[in-house]
Amino acid sequence: MTRSAFDYVDGVLHAEGVSAASLAEQFGTPLYVYSRAALTEAWNAYASACAGRRATVHVAVKANSNLAVLNVFARLGAGFDIVSGGELARVLAAGGKAENTVFSGVGKHADEMRQALAAGVKCFNVESIPELDRLNAVAAEMGKKAPVSLRVNPDVDAKTHPYISTGLKSNKFGVAFEDARATYRAAAAMTHLDVVGIDCHIGSQITEVAPYLDAVDKVLELVDQIEQDGVKIRHIDVGGGLGITYDDETPPEIGDFVRTVLDRIEACGHGHREVYFEPGRSLVGNAGVLLTRVEFLKPGAEKNFAIVDAAMTDLARPAMYEAYHAIEAVVKRDVPAHVYDVVGPVCESGDWLGRERLLAVEPGDLLAIRSAGAYGFVMSSNYNTRPRAAEVMVDGTQAYVVRAREEVKQLFAGETILPA
């Protein structure tokens, strides 16, 4: 997806038709800003590639669970991929449909299973025999049959950061490939489960198609074996994980990626099955920026620091993954540029947002942290008793607060002290 929704006009960064400087002035900082046009553009790329094919798209809620963001996709006809009962509640509150929602995740609680069965979710992606046993028991209690797909671990290297690799033998996710056939037989024998599909997800921020094709080939071979055992597979879930451009990455275009995967599945004789895609980052990543204000410029013996009002509590990815996000001045100024580490006010040496960035800024200036729409606000915290940022959605020339900034008193409203 292009970054066209966030461009400079007369030296000032704009979100669609609204100045980012005016957004910071009106709503304060740190501030997450999303573009409805960018969300729609990315969705349309998936939808167009799936048109006329037996394929559906389920938005990975974990990437960005803001109700307004989810509602944009719900209005466009999206399905959803969830990993908790809380995310199911968000989908329904945002206008999504349970019957178009897939429930993934390695550690589903019995209460979450009951919630999802009562709502009528499309499918449970199950990751172990103990989970199958639990789901079968819960469904029996409720007098229901749970639709299930097994997440199979194809042991494919997605060539991504180890923290976001999910398809190797060493990862906690999925059923081991060599155990999958027996696990399917066990699932089919359970009276309150309805085996409907197969699922794999090999990682996140993947910038090549080859790992997907390797995983698809292994899964399709397994499907043939499973059906030889008398278990029918109606759909193939290829997961998500398609990367975006943060710096100099060159991931495939969304449409090219989707068509390549679907063509491979059809060429292998499985075109009669429905295919599920579960994108997250590639839908929302470059549809958002984080605005932050420079508090101090602090020269040092070895480094210069630009100390800003955003922190690892607002954007955890750099501290957690050493992830790169482009950082730019919101207003281009004719002042000397210097190399800075962009850091926050949290009392941790790991509280940094960017290292060695050439910036022409002065105290009080605004910075925009790019590609912050995915795994940004959703991973934020209240460490150091810091209220979480506000979120704004821009639609053309209008800006809407879609999540109000937290207040400090809210952070301990549920706490109590011992009686005297």
- Other C-beta atoms within 10 Å of 371: how many? 26
- Flag whether 278 is marked binding: yes
What contacts 352, CB < 8 A, 6 or more positions away? 312, 318, 319, 341, 342, 343, 344
- Residues belonging to the chain: 420
- Flag whether 406 is marked binding: no
- Flag whether 321 is marked binding: yes
One-letter-per-residue 3-state SS of the chain? CCCCCEEEECCEEEECCEEHHHHHHHHCCCEEEEEHHHHHHHHHHHHHHHCCCCEEEEEEHHHCCCHHHHHHHHHCCCEEEECCHHHHHHHHHCCCCHHHEEECCCCCCHHHHHHHHHHCCCEEEECCHHHHHHHHHHHHHHCCCEEEEEEEECCCCCCCCHHHECCCCCCCCCEEHHHHHHHHHHHHHCCCEEEEEEECCCECCECCCHHHHHHHHHHHHHHHHHHHCCCCCCEEECCCCECCCCCCCCCCCHHHHHHHHHHHHHHCCCCCCEEEECCCHHHHHHHEEEEEEEEEEEECCCCEEEEECCCCCCCCHHHHHCCCCCEEECECCCCCCEEEEEECCCCCCCCEEEEEEEECCCCCCEEEECCCCCCCHHHCCCHHHCCCCEEEEEECCEEEEEECCCCHHHHCCCCCCCCC
User: Given 50, 123, 268, 347, which residue is catalytic?
Assistant: 347
Give catalytic status of residue 268 as yes or no: no
- Flag whether 322 is marked binding: no
- Flag whether 295 is marked binding: no
CA distances from 197 to 112, 121, 200, 292 (A): 21, 14, 10, 45
- Flag whether 345 is marked binding: no
Q: Say if CB 97 and CB 77 are below 8 A apart.
A: no
- Flag whether 355 is marked binding: no
Bond before 30 cis per omega within 30 degrees: yes
- List the catalytic residues: 347
Annotated binding-site residue numbers for substrate? 281, 317, 321, 348, 375
Annotated binding-site residue numbers for pyridoxal 5'-phosphate? 241, 278-281, 375
